[in-house]
Structure 1
Amino acid sequence: MQQRADEIIKTLKSKGLRVTPQRFAVYANLLERTDHPTVEQILTDLNKDAPTSSQATVYAALQALREVGLVREVLLEEGVSRYDANVAPHHHFRCKCCRTIEDVQWNAFGNIDLSQLRSGLKAERFEVIVQGVCDRCQ
């Protein structure tokens, strides 16, 4: 446990971030999750034992983590921001029944030819979002 904490502190410092208890807690929480939580879910998780964090604090921590590339915002449904500490390139699958979200390997779809975009468009990044029904809901 202490080794994990030391790694988180080292990572935050290497990105030039001041290590605050809130940033540490939010980042540690995201590193342990694969469910792509919302701010509300992170806040609930952090405040299970004793309410010490506010929604504004979680948003501020996420913004700082996002700005230095430790966390990415995932937009899979309208009006809902989710967060992911897996910043390596990957896609997402979202079950329309149970609403679970799973990572999909980057190379799952082969090469996507971005040169087919119309003239004048310059792609900077892309992500495939697959929507369907997971094996648990079938």
Structure 2
Amino acid sequence: MQKQAEDVVKLLKSKGLRVTPQRFSVYANLLTRYDHPTADQILSDLNRHGPTSSQATVYSALQALREVGLVREVLLEEGICRYDANVARHHHFRCRCCGTIQDIPWDTFEPLDLNRLPSSMQGESYEVTVYGVCDHCH
């Protein structure tokens, strides 16, 4: 556990971030999760044993982490922003029954040729979201 904490501190510093207890806690929380939580879910986790963070603090930490590329926003449903510490290229699967979100490896699908878009469009990146039913709900 101590080694993991040291690794998080080194990573935050390597990205030029000042290591605050809040940034550390938010990032460490995200590194242990694969459920693509909302800011409110992260806040709830951090305050499970008593208030330690505010909503504004969590949002501020998430913004700083996103700006340096340690966290990415995942928008899979209208009006709800989720966060992911897996910043490697990947796709997502969302279960239409339970709402679970799972990562799908990038090479699962054939690459799209963004040069085939109409000339009025200039594609920069893409991500596939597959909607269906997970094993648990099936």
Q: State the TM-score, normalized to the length of structure 2.
A: 0.98
Give the length in aligned residue pairs.
138
Structure 1: 4+ residue segments shifted above 6 A: none
What is aligned with 1:39?
A: 39
Q: CA–CA distance in 1 between the matches of 2:80 and 2:35?
A: 14
List gaps (5 residues or longer) in structure 2: none
What is aligned with 1:112?
A: 112
Amino acid across the alignment from 1:126: Y
1:11 Cα deviation (Å)? 0.2
Q: CA–CA distance in 2 between the matches of 1:133 and 1:82?
A: 20
Taking only aligned residues, the RMSD between alpha carbons, in angstroms, comes to: 0.6
What is aligned with 2:22?
A: 22
What is aligned with 2:64?
A: 64
Q: CA–CA distance in 1 between the matches of 2:63 and 2:121?
A: 28
Report percent identity of matched pairs. Answer: 69
Q: CA–CA distance in 2 between the matches of 1:115 and 1:135?
A: 36
* Structural mapping, 1:1-138, within 5 Å: 1-138=1-138
Q: Counterpart of 2:19 in 1: which secondary structure?
A: coil
Q: CA–CA distance in 2 between the matches of 1:10 and 1:74?
A: 25
CA offset digits 1:41-69 (Å, max 9, x no partner): 00000001111101100000000000000
Q: State the TM-score, normalized to the length of structure 1.
A: 0.98
Q: CA–CA distance in 2 between the matches of 1:67 and 1:79?
A: 20
Amino acid across the alignment from 1:2: Q
Q: Counterpart of 1:65 in 2: which secondary structure?
A: helix
